[in-house]
Amino acid sequence: MTKILIVEDDVPFGTMLKTFLIKRDYEVELVFSGLEALKKIKDNSFHLILSDVRLPDTSGLEILKEVKGKNADTQVIIMTSYAEISMAVEAMKIGAFDYVSKPFRPESILQTIENALTHTQVKPAGEKKQAKPIQKSAVTQETSFVKGVSEAALKLSDYIGLVAPTNMSVLIMGESGTGKEQVAKSIHKKSKRVGAPFIAVDCGAIPRELASSEFFGHLKGSFTGAISDKTGHFEAANGGTLFLDEIGNLSYELQVQLLRALQERKIKPVGSNNELHVDIRVITATNEDLAQAVKDGEFREDLYHRLNEFSIKVPSLNERKEDLMLFAEYFLDEANAELEKNVIGFTESAIEAFKNYNWPGNLRELKNMVKRAALLTQDEMIPLKVLPHEIATANHSNPETEYGLFKNKNEEQLILDALEKAGGNKSKAARLLSIDRKTLYNKLKQYDIKL
């Protein structure tokens, strides 16, 4: 079992994080000071260290140095409330795998942990490299792809199924919070590379000074602070899929390096004279208009065409209102599991408020809202009163579209899909379809659907 050490002087936050990771099948130990951490590190071996950068008796950077001095294969993720770029650069130069700013939601760090556990240190020349196994945990539920029943969702699913078995580069476009990374993961899971790593990289979170090292790796001594070899994202994803989120944030210099790597399928770690061959599939995502960025001279046209062999537009939640309650029910199941609650569903007034609201934050906003509502709910059903004010008081933008689901040409199939997901429970199926039971019964009679 993967062993993780959390070093955090904020007792409630550290305890919450420990409990969260234990539920994901990790073996976790928690200490509240640097001295306790150093003793634990001396007496035990850990696969991963999560350390706050500011501790009452020492610095997380000192712990990082100690860890890397003992075993360079142990990955370290630095946590801090002080989002200073200089500290991020220093931590990653010393050898930290990543740097995250608090406060953060525990589930948001799962992908970072998984990426860290797939990384392997560069071995001396001539020595065969062995990739570390990918950690299997409850992250599977976190990364599941909800297909949906709307026309937009069915089209999206068709595109995923069409492009997944190929090696084409895919550009995923869509508003923030629409689930672009989940689409990328779904493509990977349906591809021939499913048994190989899926490495996700937020291009907007990489300091410019460390970009080349992060993507292509570096050798020990190649620059000040490079106390050990580092495997870059390209090599970590070898044989699998490299997902580059917010690709439009890459500097022009890195765009040139990325284009060369994609064209030649070769990379050269910082400080090395030897090129490494890599076999990867690249999937990118953006919420910007990259075509316009090309016209404005902010993004290289040749790289744009290299990345855009196939494009997928992820619809906003407002464009797929038929899927709203499907996602709400799915996120409620997640929230129940995480919060150890047993909320059954949503009251009719809450569902009506959901339908009235425009969801500018898309699926991310819906997920956060459902989790908050589940936490506040004391009954079996989530009531209107626990919803945020802007949702609870939203008005219908167009009352004529209340039953917009039934303007869909796939009406009968949508009903059958909802009934299947609900296990034949008509009340639950009606909630999934955002209609009342009477309307559902009328439609079952109209299409002669018998259960």
Euclidean distance between CA atoms 251 and 98, whole angstroms:
19
Report how far Cα 268 is from the mean position of its chain's Cα atoms: 28
Helix (H, G, I), strand (E, B) or coil at 131: coil
CA quadruple 428, 433, 436, 438: dihedral, nearest 10: -90
Same fold, 143-313 and 320-446: no
Phi first, then psi, for residue 396 (nearest 5°) are -60, 130
- pLDDT tens, position by position, 249-287: 888 889 999 999 999 999 988 888 888 999 999 999 999
With tokens 């998984």, the residue in question is 114
pLDDT at 395: 75
For the chain, what are the domain ranges? 3-108, 143-313, 320-446
CATH of 143-313, one of 3.40.50.300, 3.20.20.140, 3.20.190.10, 3.40.190.10: 3.40.50.300
Whole-Å CA distances, 409 to 219, 338, 371, 402, 438: 58, 37, 33, 16, 21
C-alpha 423/C-alpha 404 separation (Å) is 24
Q: State whether the Cα torsion 342-344-349-354 is positive or negative.
A: positive
With contact defined as beta carbons under 8 Å apart, do 293 and 109 qualify?
no
Class of domain 3-108: alpha beta
- Which portions of the chain are predicted below pLDDT 50? 83, 120-143, 397-404
Residue 149 CA, distance from chain mean position = 23
Digit-coded pLDDT (tens) for 66-97: 898 888 888 999 887 654 556 666 777 788 88
pTM: 0.62
49: Cα separation from own chain's centroid: 20
Contact indicator for 70, 44 with CB cutoff of 8 Å: no
Write out the DSSP string of 323-367.
GHHHHHHHHHHHHHHHHT----EE-HHHHHHHHH---TTHHHHHH
Question: 């790796």: which residue's tokens?
Answer: 217
Instruction: Say how far apart CA 167 and CA 180 lie, in whole Å.
Output: 18
Amino acid at the residue 98: D
Do residues 348 and 430 lie in contact, with contact meaning Cβ atoms separated by under 8 Å? no
CA dihedral of residues 254, 183, 21, 67 (deg, nearest 10)? -20
Other beta carbons within 10 angstroms of residue 189's beta carbon come to 16
Q: Hey, which residues does 351 pair with through a beta bridge?
A: none
In angstroms, the CA 151 to CA 149 distance is: 7
Q: Specify the pLDDT at position 225.
A: 63
Which listed CATH number (3.30.1120.10, 3.30.300.90, 1.10.8.60, 3.30.70.1890) goes with 320-446?
A: 1.10.8.60
> Phi and psi (nearest 5°) for 308?
-105, 50
C-alpha 219/C-alpha 274 separation (Å) is 11
Look up tokens 């799915």; give the residue: 330
